[in-house]
Structure 1
Amino acid sequence: MVDAGTDTDLSALIWTPQRSAALDRLERFAPRAGRAYAARRNFDFGPQDRSNVSALSPWIRHRLILEEEVLSSVLQRHSFSAAEKFVQEVFWRGYFKGWLEHRAQVWARYRSDLSDCLEGLDRDPALRDRYEAAVEGRSGIDCFDAWAKELVATGYLHNHTRMWFASIWIFTLHLPWQLGADLFLRHLLDGDPASNTLGWRWVGGLHTRGKTYLARASNIARYTDGRFDPAGQLATAAPALSEPALDAPRSPQFDATPKDIGRFGLLVTEEDGQPETLDLPGRPSALLGLAATAERSPLAVSDVARSFAEAAVGDALSRAAEAFGAEPAHTGDLQPGAEAWGPRLVDWARNRDLSVIVTAAPPVGPIRDSLTTAGPVLADAGITLLTVARRYDRAVWPHAGKGFFQLKAKIPKLLNGLGLSA
């Protein structure tokens, strides 16, 4: 379970990669998700005190707990008006995922640009020195350096702090945003291709064209409760970054789930840790767990992030085995690269006499990349891959093609459609 001190002082918060720990944390936070959360959510009191925020993101990221469960728990305790700010924060996650579904090219471009940036470090020793100083917490800006070390040590940063960090990285240290996004993705327990990539783009003025986020010393001093005050150390302007125009957005496509496909195997990944609640076309005959955490970056992904994701898959497999009475196989984080998935899936399917593999529909990111690479290998072996989308994603993603505030206006209707009215 979660070692989180008392209910009022959630000190030394440890994220245990189990559904039971997520439910325990939600039960203790939900009573504070109303107006108290709205008033105090922007404060970062330090890693020893996360009592003012939910800290649920590592579990939600791997869907050890679902967005619908979180919303239901909160709206059972608070009116919509009282909990509206927290509810919006939950929908921000779905918005970012949906927006990237409309523009998958942004993920592909980020991956390509990141490779170019890493090569640039080899060509420019001065840039490499600045980059390494920032990553290692040696920039000379006390708050930034403390956050860099906290990120590596804990795999977590407060959301407000992530914005400050990204702003300082881009506008004060003048480092490529892609390298900063990669640093986060390699270390965060809740490292998510959509939220992370688009969050950095938002700070730099790429997500909402021309609108940037400037970290200010007075804001940091106020919302860190005086722990830091980088007066005179930060950039005073935040000129928007630029990029080539994006292609026209494409609406998300969801596969129809067949009613009866006969014998099939269920693939459990780090994208969905509740296989027992998927709308499956029957009972799976076999279970396999795979992770693609190492595929988050060309650089080494932290042991903290990898072990959390792999253990989350293991926890999901244990519950699926109990629910379905099928023997699980857990390979862990495959190496080397996405190309390993095809042969591994074919071997597993053949050993268990399977011609169909079913998995939770993965959003844009490494899991989808790995499955896309595996697709031709599976097809050549006569194996069909089916994906099953969550009701929440089907409801939210189609409304995320433009700005968040268009989705925000639809939140009450979406809640009603999901049966989550206050």
Structure 2
Amino acid sequence: MTPLPFDPTPQALSRVDWTGTRAAGLARLEAFLPAAGTAYTRTRNSDLGPDDRSNVSALSPWLARRLITEEEVVSRVMASHGFVKAEKFIQEVYWRSYWKGWLEMRPQVLTRFNQDRLALKQTVAEDPALAQRLARAKAGETGIACFDAWVRELTTLGWLHNHARMWFASIWIFTLELPWQLGADFFFKHLLDADVASNTLSWRWVAGLHTKGKHYLARASNIETHTLGRFNPAGQLAENALPLDEPSLQTGPGAMPEREILFEERIGLLVHGEDLHPESLPLSAKVVGAGLLHVAEIGPADGAKNKFTRRAEQDACNRLEQAFGVEAPLMASLDEVLNWAVGLDVKEIATPYAPVGPIAWHVTDLKRALADQGIRLVQVRRSWDSRTWPLATGGFFKLKEKLPNLVRDLDRA
């Protein structure tokens, strides 16, 4: 077993408290800060297992819901290490924004994914052999020890190391020869950090669809090296498979939506699972009422993902009440939100911008319903998104080369 090129870190960093609160996210950030510089650059590719996350931040569940924001994470890391030493970690934070911007300008990619996913579920229902292979993979009964262990880790903890996610997806697609769309769906149902853009596009990248002809193949030697000898699936993996292909789909970037502006002096504030840090939203008006729109999660009701989400939403409601001095109900239906909004006697409701995905679809329906009541729903987009998303017109390199300027601009925002 190859030793790690750094001294073991404190137990507080090795174990992650997967609690869906802003306080837990901030505590994890503070614990990780000392390791966010050169140590992260050297060791980030190693998956030490679920009991030792000392070499990665594991901040993605809190970032995905913006219990903590990208801006505050990058600012804290910059203050501790500077750009040069922390560049690799900062890149990883911006990768999430790149994926979001890329999909925001190409929503047709998500439309096709959802169409394929539903069609494949029907195919599985009609093909017993495929259904059996799929069931074995999802149960962690493939006989490939590393894959089966990652299935258990995913379905119990709701989190996997990024390198393990790549290996997992590659084995699912090229070794088990299962549809990538069903693998992405499986991930989305269980991951604490489930994010439509990052999840869908990462699976497409592994398959060779995001960058045509460039796929990712898991290799036994690489797995052995970066799991420090915990696993070695020698002879079990398809290490020479060809990339997938798909019917042509126009994926040129469309225009970014214009930023919406609040005009009223009194507003309601409605938050949702895409952004649970309302205290830092750029609002220019007095908030006279606040609430949270709950959109049901896809996945096991008693699973780690749903537990994290329920805790996160309650935490956001508590902070709404503290920040604005108003009662903040959690609402799960359109009618509840409409009754709440009408009762506020306001002409505008502010809500964080919802990028393409299930929550955005609910927001679109709500916008129409509120308009019928004479109330304007205004989506408030953060400066972070407005600066980064338009750079996702091609590959990540275009955004990457702008990182020094983007980070420098944080001090001026």
Aligned residues: 405
Contact 2:265-2:286 within 8 A present in 1 as well: no
The answer to whether structure 1 residue 416 and structure 2 residue 411 are counterparts is: no
User: Which of 370, 379, 386 is equivalent to 2:371?
Assistant: 379
| Aligned match of 1:179 | 182
Residues in 2 aligned to 1:159 and 1:380: alpha-carbon distance in whole angstroms: 45
| Aligned match of 2:83 | 80
Residues in 2 aligned to 1:318 and 1:51: alpha-carbon distance in whole angstroms: 31
SS of aligned partner of 2:73: helix
Question: What is the deviation of 1:374?
Answer: 2.7
Question: What is the deviation of 1:12?
Answer: 4.0
| Aligned match of 1:49 | 52
The answer to whether structure 1 residue 253 and structure 2 residue 245 are counterparts is: no
Contact 2:13-2:31 within 8 A present in 1 as well: no
Residues in 2 aligned to 1:376 and 1:113: alpha-carbon distance in whole angstroms: 28
Alpha carbons of structure 1 residues 301 and 194: separation in structure 2 relative to 1, 3 Å: farther
| Aligned match of 2:346 | 354
Contact 1:289-1:314 within 8 A present in 2 as well: no
Q: What is the correspondence of 1:79-118 to structure 2 with a 5 Å cutoff?
A: 79-118=82-121
- Listed as ranges, the gaps of 5+ residues in structure 1 are 335-339
The answer to whether structure 1 residue 25 and structure 2 residue 17 are counterparts is: no
Amino acid at match of 1:363: P
| Aligned match of 2:231 | 228
Q: Which runs of 4+ in 1 moved over 3 A?
A: 8-12, 299-302
Q: What is the correspondence of 1:197-208 to structure 2 with a 5 Å cutoff?
A: 197-208=200-211
Q: Deviations over 1:282-318 (max 9, x none)?
A: 1211111122242x4xx65663212212221221221
Q: Deviations over 1:254-281 (max 9, x none)?
A: 32322x4133211111111110110113
| Aligned match of 2:317 | 317
SS of aligned partner of 1:230: coil
| Aligned match of 1:210 | 213
Residues in 2 aligned to 1:320 and 1:285: alpha-carbon distance in whole angstroms: 11
Question: What is the deviation of 1:403?
Answer: 0.1
Amino acid at match of 2:317: L
SS of aligned partner of 1:264: strand
SS of aligned partner of 1:214: coil
Residues in 2 aligned to 1:293 and 1:176: alpha-carbon distance in whole angstroms: 25
| Aligned match of 1:337 | none
| Aligned match of 1:329 | 329
Residues in 2 aligned to 1:41 and 1:16: alpha-carbon distance in whole angstroms: 23
Amino acid at match of 1:314: Q
Amino acid at match of 1:103: R
Instruction: Compare 83-92 and 244-253 and name the one that shifted more.
Output: 244-253
Contact 2:172-2:183 within 8 A present in 1 as well: yes
Alpha carbons of structure 1 residues 10 and 420: separation in structure 2 relative to 1, 3 Å: farther
SS of aligned partner of 1:236: coil
Residues in 1 aligned to 2:412 and 2:157: alpha-carbon distance in whole angstroms: 33
Residues in 1 aligned to 2:303 and 2:312: alpha-carbon distance in whole angstroms: 14
Amino acid at match of 2:80: R
Instruction: Compare 218-227 and 317-326 and name the one that shifted more.
Output: 317-326
Instruction: Compare 261-270 and 205-214 and name the one that shifted more.
Output: 261-270
Q: Deviations over 1:32-87 (max 9, x none)?
A: 11111011001011000000000111001110111111111111111311111111
Question: What is the deviation of 1:384?
Answer: 1.3
Q: Deviations over 1:116-152 (max 9, x none)?
A: 1111110111000000100010111110001001100
- RMSD, matched Cα: 1.8
